Amino acid sequence: MTLDSNAPQATDAPRRARGRPRKTADERDDGNRRQELINGAARLFRHKGFSATSTRDIAAAVGMQSGSPFYHFESKQALLGAVMLEGMQGALQRQQAALAALPATAPAQERLHALVRNHFDVLLGPDSDFIPVMLYEWRSLKPAQRSEINHLKDRYEADWSPELEALHQQGALGSDPVLARLMIFGALNWSAQWYVPPSGRSAKARARASLDELTTSALQLFLKEPT
């Protein structure tokens, strides 16, 4: 093929940067801002309730303009789903880590102790707004939002079943393991309503205890000496 000497050479064309265009500062911070919204919404949903919390409240809590949350979430309802999903994902990861830290030969009672202690930490420890929101606001979700969260919740509760079965066989658990699991979760989850940390100032002084003390008390209620 013959080249026309009068044709513009390739070097005459403007050079284009390779790869994707650089992100703006806002775009680079997108993931962090989204996480701030989830954390801020969790706190407000827990302490004010979903219905009483506006998108404007959430934006103000994280230093955003009132319309900015809609850049990250299409609605307050979508943000509620994200809060619950993150809560269950984090709870499951923490539970699996607590079990993985035990020796492979750990007895069922020691494993149940780890499960109960971790559950109290998820409910009442640092960054513990997420699961209480799920407990209080479950009915505020649309049916379509519940499926993925239910899947994680089922995985979370499934880790308890082998230990309760083993304790039942040993005579340390007096009731049917399935019923026991439901009753245990009901009792533990209700602590989010009345618990006051030891350093807290409240008239509910009787409720003050460390999470280790709560774990010991709970196991004393649920388990009996093997026969």
Q: Which residue has the higher pLDDT, 207 or 67?
A: 67
Statement: residue 12 has pLDDT above 50: no
Statement: residue 24 has pLDDT above 90: no
Please compute the mean of the pLDDT values over residues 46-71 and round it to a whole number: 90
From residue 160, alpha-carbon distances to 104, 122, 128, 167, 210 in Å are 16, 15, 21, 11, 23
188-221 residue pLDDT tens: 999 999 988 776 555 444 557 899 999 999 999 9
Sort residue 65 into left (φ over 0), alpha (ψ -120 to 50) or beta.
beta
116-137 residue pLDDT tens: 999 999 999 988 899 999 999 9
| Domain residue ranges in the chain | 80-222
- Percent of the chain whose predicted confidence (pLDDT) is above 70: 81
User: Binning pLDDT at 50, 70 and 90, where does residue 31 land?
Assistant: low
Statement: residue 172 has pLDDT above 60: yes
| Dihedral over alpha carbons 195, 175, 134, 52 (to 10 degrees) | -60
Domain 80-222 has CATH 1.10.40.30: no
Report whether 94 contacts 189 (CB < 8 A).
no
pLDDT of residue 201: 52
- Percent of the chain whose predicted confidence (pLDDT) is above 90: 64
